[in-house]
Amino acid sequence: KKQLNSLQAVQQQLTAIAEQNKQVIKQAAIVNEAELALTHAQQQLTDAQTVKTQQQTSLDNLGLDELINTVNTQRNLLAALVPQAANYQEAQADVAQLSMAIKKTQVTLEQAETQVAATTSHLNKLQQTQIRQQIAHLAAKLEPDSPCPVCGSTSHPHPALVVDEPLVSEAALKQADQERQKAAARKTMVETQLANLETQLKTAKAKTAQARQAFTEHWQEQAKLIAGVADKTGILQQLTALKTLAATNEHQLTE
């Protein structure tokens, strides 16, 4: 009976040991599973870091800093183009205004020249009429065999005839000469105005050429920058793809 009790005790111990072994095996399986999960998580982290490095490399290859600098330079050039374009337009407006003023002044000068010609012709006619009247007056006083007060000849085969017309007075001659002088002075004044306008037009054209050159140079620089940006036509698509990939990786790491 004593031996039977001993055997039962041993059996109970063996049963307890077997149960402990089961628990140990179960715990070992849990630990092994945890180690596998940790290894998998570490691999995911390594993969995510690799992808992040690739993303950074891709971003660097895109030349974002260069693109930002280009855009800033482009913005500055556009800002500079605004006043230059305004200067160019203002210079062109000055040229157009001066050209129109010159045309009007040329018309005025033609009118002044016509007036000078008319007043000069009128004065000449009055002077010729006065001379003719004076000659006729002298001819009326000629007597046969009497010397001519002009040429001294005593023969008068063809004396001048008196014409029935108003006498030209010295006052009329003086007034006609004053009108001629006034017209000539106006012509001189208009000529001076025209010369000044032509000088201003020459200066305005030079200013327009300079403004146009400055505007063209800046516009050409702007065109080069636009072409440089156009070479990066896929940059927004690439950035969007990288952003999506980064969000996916972040979600995976969170899980």
Instruction: Read off the pTM.
Output: 0.54
Determine contact, residues 172/192, Cβ cutoff 8 Å: no
Q: Which residue has the tokens 């017209």?
A: 183
What is the domain-level CATH number for residue 91?
A: 1.10.287
Instruction: Say whether both 178 and 115 belong to one domain.
Output: yes
More reliable by pLDDT, 33 or 187: 187
Model pLDDT, residue 22:
79
Instruction: Say whether both 12 and 68 belong to one domain.
Output: no
More reliable by pLDDT, 152 or 108: 108
Model pLDDT, residue 206:
92
Instruction: Say whether both 32 and 69 belong to one domain.
Output: no
Q: What is the mean pLDDT of residues 28-48?
A: 75
Residue 93 domain boundaries: 63-254
Give 242's pLDDT tier (boundaries 50, 70, 90).
very low
Give 80's pLDDT tier (boundaries 50, 70, 90).
low
Model pLDDT, residue 70:
64
Instruction: Say whether both 181 and 171 belong to one domain.
Output: yes
Instruction: Say whether both 76 and 55 belong to one domain.
Output: no
- Tell me 198's DSSP state: H
Instruction: Say whether both 15 and 131 belong to one domain.
Output: no
Alpha-carbon distances of 228 from 85, 142, 235, 236, rounded to whole Å: 23, 104, 12, 15
Instruction: Say whether both 57 and 94 belong to one domain.
Output: no
Alpha-carbon distances of 143 from 149, 151, 153, 155, 163, rounded to whole Å: 11, 14, 11, 9, 19
Instruction: Say whether both 136 and 198 belong to one domain.
Output: yes
Give 235's pLDDT tier (boundaries 50, 70, 90).
very low
| Of 246, 231, 228, 207, the residue nearest 59 (C-alpha) | 246
Instruction: Say whether both 83 and 116 belong to one domain.
Output: yes
Instruction: Say whether both 88 and 103 belong to one domain.
Output: yes
Structurally, how many domains does the chain consist of? 2
Helix (H, G, I), strand (E, B) or coil at 160: coil
Model pLDDT, residue 111:
95
Determine contact, residues 38/214, Cβ cutoff 8 Å: no
pLDDT, one tens digit per residue, over 125-168 is 999 988 888 887 777 777 777 887 777 777 767 666 666 678 88
Q: Residues 21-34, buried b or exposed e (16+ Cβ, 10 A)?
A: eeeeeeeeeeeeee
pLDDT, one tens digit per residue, over 158-217 is 666 666 678 888 999 999 999 999 999 999 999 999 999 999 999 999 988 888 888 777
Instruction: Say whether both 34 and 95 belong to one domain.
Output: no
pLDDT, one tens digit per residue, over 9-22 is 767 777 777 777 77
Please tell me the distance from the alpha carbon of residue 117 to that of residue 113, in angstroms, as a whole number: 6
Instruction: Say whether both 107 and 94 belong to one domain.
Output: yes
Q: Which residue has the tokens 């690739």?
A: 54
More reliable by pLDDT, 250 or 158: 158
User: Which of residues 62, 96, 115 is at a domain's end?
Assistant: 62
User: Which of residues 22, 40, 62 is at a domain's end?
Assistant: 62
